[in-house]
A and B are shown apart, each in its own frame.
Chain A
Amino acid sequence: MHSSLANVRLAGLAVSTGSVVRDYLAEGLAHGLDRAVLERTAQTVGLRERRVAAPGVTALDLCEDAARRLFAAAGLDASSVDAVIFVTQTPDHPQPNNASFLQARLGLAKGVAAFDLSLGCSGWVYGLHQAALLCAHGGAGRVLLCAGDTLSRLTHPQDRSTDPLFGDAGSAALIERTGGAAPWHFELGADGSGAGAIIVPQGGARAPAGSRPLTVVPDFDGNGRHAENLAMQGGEVFNFTLREVPAAVASVLRHAGYAAATTDGLVLHQANRFVVSAVGRKCGFPPEKTPDGIAERFGNQSSASIPCALTEAYGERLAVGPLRLALCGFGVGWSWGAVAGEFGPLVVAPVQPFPRQA
């Protein structure tokens, strides 16, 4: 679906990461894996360390921290928000949604619209579209978009195809109605034929938690996981990404009248350096315009990875903005969301761990 929304702006960004640092090489050696193979994989994929949530900390906690820091940095009162959108696939509970908890925790007005979007790595762009839609046509003046996950809780330590990849993070963004802003051009899509390629098979209504024994079963590569762990078919996901993302990015660039040479950057979901650099090249962007190092420091942060990349790679320039950017998230579903437009000037709070270290 294509959608163009004008008279909206991104007013602020903040990201809070998990506080526990996991080292790829040390963990692999502890699993008895060969150092040379680990080092080669680390170099090829871009795996160094990741930050996961401390015990008891959830995506809701991480996003609340990010939102509080963002309100403080922007000098705004939380009561000025008209809607809160929470993008996550690791909510605190099956019911109620995280957005309702966040309304109470942050002291948002009772009149806010508060809802969750169940999306993963494409979710920040989907959420941005919903927030922009509420501002452009829905009567909202300011929307708080929170996006984050604790995917490290879903992987099995014996599954080396997923466990070393994921970090935990929560993000907060403010989207506002404004006069005279050029449109943002979105492309949103889904291909449910790939729904089984990234899946937690058990724990929902179709296969309730505990309905089958949690027996660890090895796959093709000897990676072990049980039915309530995240399972990912990496090759199929890579095929999907190379197929759909360049087309979505090309579409939003075309609608915006941008080319790679006239765009300040392409910010892709930070799956890992290998995927980001391959997709960036296929999109026609040079490496210097395609930041790819976020997962190497923080892990794959699901829906929080694009705001983290924006903050880390473009924070200083966005603070004085504007920049012409294309963004694209892609993953579980399969789903994807791309946007092109001008971003900044905006308030950018630094990426920080939660809880903060003493």
Chain B
Amino acid sequence: MSSPSRLAALQADVDLFAGATTSTRLEALPGWGSLAVLLVILHCETKHGLTVTSAQVRACATVGDLLSLIPETP
């Protein structure tokens, strides 16, 4: 899955990412916080079969950082 596709998939699952770009800072998103972290963890698990930890998500500064947790697939 390409970077734009990964962003689109994230936006489809978690509505607080609507309108965000890879350079959007997470702290600038209304509603970014502990619940959003859970939603990202669940998105990675269900859409990508990927286990990411809360610490990994919280270490991200931008949406692009979040997407880098998800390996690009053909």
* Contact of B45 with A161 in the complex, beta carbons under 8 Å: no
* Contact of B42 with A220 in the complex, beta carbons under 8 Å: no
* Contact of A44 with B53 in the complex, beta carbons under 8 Å: no
Compute how far the CA of A45 lies from the CA of B35 in the bound complex, rounded to whole angstroms: 8
Nearest-CB residue, chain A, relative to B42:
A278
* Interfacial chain B residues near A79, Cβ < 8 Å: none
Q: Is B39 an interface residue (CB 8 A)?
A: yes
- Interface readout for B12-38 with A: 1 if CB under 8 Å, 0 if not? 000100000000000000110111011
Picked from B30, B34, B45, B55, the residue with its CB within 8 Å of the CB of A221 is B34
Nearest-CB residue, chain B, relative to A220:
B58
Q: Is A2 an interface residue (CB 8 A)?
A: no
Q: Supply 5 A–B pairs (Cβ within 8 Å), ascending by A.
A: A45-B35, A161-B34, A234-B35, A235-B37, A274-B38
* Interfacial chain B residues near A41, Cβ < 8 Å: 31, 35
Q: What residues of chain A have their CB less than 8 Å away from a CB belonging to chain B?
A: 37, 40-41, 44-45, 161, 220-221, 223, 233-236, 238-239, 242-243, 274, 278, 281-282
Compute how far the CA of A79 lies from the CA of B54 in the bound complex, rounded to whole angstroms: 50
Nearest-CB residue, chain B, relative to A274:
B38
* Interfacial chain A residues near B42, Cβ < 8 Å: 238, 274, 278
CB within 8 Å of A: which B35-61 residues: 35, 37-39, 41-42, 45-46, 51, 53-55, 57-58
* Contact of A235 with B34 in the complex, beta carbons under 8 Å: yes
* Contact of A234 with B51 in the complex, beta carbons under 8 Å: no
Q: A44-B35, A234-B38, A242-B45 are in contact. List 5 more A-B contacts (CB 8 A).
A: A41-B31, A161-B34, A234-B54, A238-B42, A239-B51
Compute how far the CA of A13 lies from the CA of B18 in the bound complex, rounded to whole angstroms: 46
* A331 CB to nearest B CB, Å: 15
Given contacts A37-B30, A40-B31, A41-B35, contact A235 B53 (CB under 8 A): yes
Compute how far the CA of A252 lies from the CA of B39 in the bound complex, rounded to whole angstroms: 28
Given contacts A234-B38, A274-B38, A278-B42, contact A239 B31 (CB under 8 A): no
